[in-house]
Structure 1
Amino acid sequence: MIFDFKNIHIGDLISKRVEEKAFDSVRVCNFLKCTDKEWEVIQSQKSLDTNILLRLSTLLEYDFFRLYSQYLILYAPQGSNYNKAGDKKSSLPYYRKNIYTKEIVDFILEQLENGIKTKLQIIEEYRIPKSTLYKWINKYNNLKKEK
């Protein structure tokens, strides 16, 4: 299944995770200290307050913030000046932008395998170095052969 990182509906994803964990609404409401009506509103939201998202990430044992981080890895504007190591003006922590998680690699390779994007489109749209893409292709093709 290809996840659409451009259209994150966090309420739907939280609902799916609650189902996977087989939690009932009473448990979630007790944890969040909210009513059933407020819980329904949370599940319908496309975006949520970070404090609520942090609490749900803890309860449901899933890093919902990573979805947004992966969006930034894939779709942050090319040549953007944010988050550069040489930026001495910020007291915020520095994070490297191009850290590819297993989910990102799988997402990209699945797009390639299903013919949704070509290698050139992936290289241009996601700014992934050609050598990196070819290493992923070789590595994961070898892993498939071993299975």
Structure 2
Amino acid sequence: MKEKYIVDKSLKDIHIGHYIHLKVIENKIDINRICNFFDLREEDIIKFYESEDIATSDLLRWCKLLNYDFFRIYTGHLILYSPPCKNPNMPPSELPAFKKNIYTQEVIDYLLELITKQKKSIPEVLER
């Protein structure tokens, strides 16, 4: 049974369950293998497919099972849609610091155009 999903090619709205189900279909992974991997029933796996949000520990397991980095979808969203973070009054953090505004608006618009006109796929854009 092959289901059709509408995938937001701009990465603006992420329904991670749909992306996971698409990858399961692409990889032709048997539902029994998935159930055994997660030690869950088929109904519980279907709930993953219907979920817009998934716990990071579960998402990490999906990444391993399907050999695909679903976290990059969120990273792509942050790169394209997160506002620059410049607040000089913020105390220093012990967490690693990342530059959010490494791309200009023109580059972001160009990348979105490549994706929406289907000249490049999301994984191709994120990889480059």
Which TM-score applies when normalising by structure 2?
0.69
Gaps of 5+ in 2: 1-6, 118-128
1:23 maps to 29
Judged with a 3 Å threshold, the aligned counterparts in structure 2 of structure 1 residues 36 and 109 are, in CA distance, closer, same or farther, namely same
Judged with a 3 Å threshold, the aligned counterparts in structure 2 of structure 1 residues 106 and 66 are, in CA distance, closer, same or farther, namely farther
The counterpart of 1:36, out of the listed 42, 57, 66, is 42
User: What's the RMSD between the two structures over aligned residues?
Assistant: 2.8
Select the structure that is richer in helix: 1
The structure showing larger relative contact order (alpha-carbon pairs under 8 Å, at least 6 residues apart) is: 2
Q: Deviations over 1:70-92 (max 9, x none)?
A: 11111112x4237x9xx762111
2:93 maps to 90
Judged with a 3 Å threshold, the aligned counterparts in structure 2 of structure 1 residues 10 and 35 are, in CA distance, closer, same or farther, namely same
The counterpart of 1:108, out of the listed 107, 112, 115, is 112
Q: Deviations over 1:44-100 (max 9, x none)?
A: 0011000000000111011101111111111112x4237x9xx76211122232557
Aligned length, in residue pairs = 106
The counterpart of 2:9, out of the listed 3, 9, 20, is 3
Preserved contact between residue 85 and residue 100 of structure 2 (Cα < 8 Å): no
Identity value in percent: 36
Give the whole-Å Cα distance in 2 for the aligned partners of 1:2 and 1:34. Answer: 29
Max Rg structure: 1
Gaps of 5+ in 1: 115-147
